[in-house]
Amino acid sequence: MEPSPAPGELSVMLRAASDFADDAVRQFLEQCPLPSLLGVKQMCLGWLKLSQNVYTKCFPQDMEHHFCQTMAFIQAGLLTDSNDIRKLACKAVLHLLDKAEDGAAAVETVAQHNLYPLLINCLVEGDEEISAVILDAVKCLAQIPKGAEIIFPPDGLGSVQLGKVAAQSSSLARIRILSLIAKLFTVSSYTATSIRDSNLLSIFEDEIKDRRDMLKTLSALEVLYELVEHPHSNIFLLKTNLLQLIIDVISDSSADSVIRSRAALISGRLLSSADAFTAVDQSYVTNLLVAIDKILKMEESMNTDEIESALETLGLIGTTTQGAHFLLTSSNVARHVVKSSFDRQGRGRQLAALHAFGSICGADRQEDQMKLDGQAEDCLKRLVYTTAANSPKLTPSALLLSILQQDPDIRIAGYRVISGLVVREWCLREVCLNSEIIKLVTDPTMETTKLGMEARYDCCVAINKALSSSHLLHEASLSELVGKLNDAVKRGPYLSDRKRVEAQPVVVPAERF
């Protein structure tokens, strides 16, 4: 313990504090060094007499290294009721972990001074700014070798069990703990496994299961939405009850549309990898598609955002060959996707459907995985021709052309669809026999944005590549088309065929009075 200052020293410090200003920080520290200030803190009464602003101004960001040198001061800062001082102490811990040249030493310091439990206490009781700093600090701790063992001790008998803390905390504090779990989940496979083994994922289940408080449920879903972005999340999450709970939310017609939309997108992300279909019982996927099908069937009376989220979910599922096969052969949802892709009644719905259709066709898959098995391919072809026959356009080529004649966002989505579909001989023929489609996809002036130029060019390359390996290449009637495609591919996506326009100097005579 640092020595307490003499009464005379205390008087000097209080007098200096009363005259303290932002531009006198260093002068104040020279007059009242840290050990003496610490002594005032430990006298309690002196701590109360000194203004909180003095302490927060004494340690701005460029002086936090002073703070890091005094662990007892950090402990006291984490224990105080002042949010300003708590935040400063939390920043000091973050600085210690983030900037440490010797990570092992930093972790040892945290362990020796029992800082982790104090951080969790501040996470539960502090304000939003403190919470944000602590999330970063604990994540830094988990990233240092041996640091994760403070959070998840190998024997499972740590002084702070996040599950127990969550059970005893307010709704707001539980959401913060969920945010911490989501951050830790992405650090390493060790922390993800530790979270699973500690049964912390059940906290998400509890929050989603109890849907009496819409805001609480939505907050939990938002955190879960971030967590499922992580590549290996489905390996862990699909072995819990979360997918069934998500399906229950989507199926609940009394739930708010925002909650159902977010739940749908979470399910899509969970099932957007090939591993997902080996990790989950297919009955869950069937139940999910039934729930989504109900949303799309009620499209006239449903919230537009909910419909778009349902279509986006199908696109996520359709990114893999397993998912695309399941959508085409095991449910009616693919019919909604194809129909909405060419339905101009709702722009947002059409755009979402086109992107989903492109994913199902293979636009996001490797070239050797774009085509599906015979059954799924037959379903895809039948859906496209049936949709065309039931529309004023009558043929698939006319439908595809109509997409390329709409606004830039719709065109970009249309390029994706064509890029995926043309690996099929029947669609390649439809495209090649429509000179207007070829004219548009080979026109270097068609698009004005980088994204649009690249999407058009990728579509052009896809058609050219599919044609080069097809027997259609040798048909005399398509020789001119082949030349156009070859020239367009060589030209590249960025208007490289335009004549270069050199800057011309402009001479303006000076005005004279």
Residue 490: name the closest of 452, 451, 453, 464 by CA.
Answer: 464
For each of the chain's 513 residues, which pLDDT tens digit applies? 455 555 556 556 555 555 544 545 455 545 555 445 544 444 433 443 343 444 444 444 444 444 445 677 777 778 878 788 888 888 888 888 887 777 788 888 888 888 888 988 989 888 888 899 999 999 999 888 788 888 888 765 555 678 888 888 888 888 999 999 999 988 888 888 888 888 888 888 888 887 777 888 898 899 999 888 887 777 888 888 888 899 999 988 888 888 989 999 999 998 888 788 887 888 888 889 998 988 888 755 456 888 889 999 999 999 999 999 999 998 789 999 999 898 877 888 899 999 999 999 999 898 888 999 999 999 999 999 999 998 888 889 999 999 999 989 999 999 999 999 999 999 998 888 888 898 898 888 888 889 988 999 999 999 988 888 877 766 767 777 878 888 888 888 886 544 444 455 655 565 554
Q: What top-level class would CATH report for the domain 233-391?
A: mainly alpha
Distance CA 125, CA 120 (A): 9
Judge whether 4 and 42 are in contact, CB under 8 Å: yes
Residue where the block lists tokens 């101004």: 57
Among left, alpha and beta (phi > 0; psi -120 to 50; other), residue 59 is beta
d(CA 454, CA 493): 6
The residues, ordered by sequence, that sit 6+ positions from 143 with a Cβ below 8 Å of its Cβ are: 187, 188
Nearest to 111 by CA among 97, 123, 132, 130: 97
Any idea where the domains of the chain sit in the sequence?
Answer: 233-391, 406-493
Separation of alpha carbons 150 and 137, rounded Å = 13
Q: How far apart are CA 401 and CA 432, in angstroms?
A: 12
Q: Three-class SS of residue 374?
A: helix
Number of other residues whose CB lies within 10 A of the CB of residue 44: 9
- CA dist., res. 322 & res. 99, Å (int): 45
User: How far is residue 21 CA from its own chain's centroid?
Assistant: 43
For residues 352 and 413, what is the distance between their CA atoms, to the nearest angstrom?
A: 9
What's the N-to-C CA distance of the chain in angstroms?
Answer: 83
Q: Tell me the C-alpha distance between 446 and 430, whole Å.
A: 21
Instruction: Give the tokens for residue 63.
Output: 């002086």
Compute CA distances 83 → 31, 69, 87, 151, 394, whole Å. 26, 21, 6, 24, 68
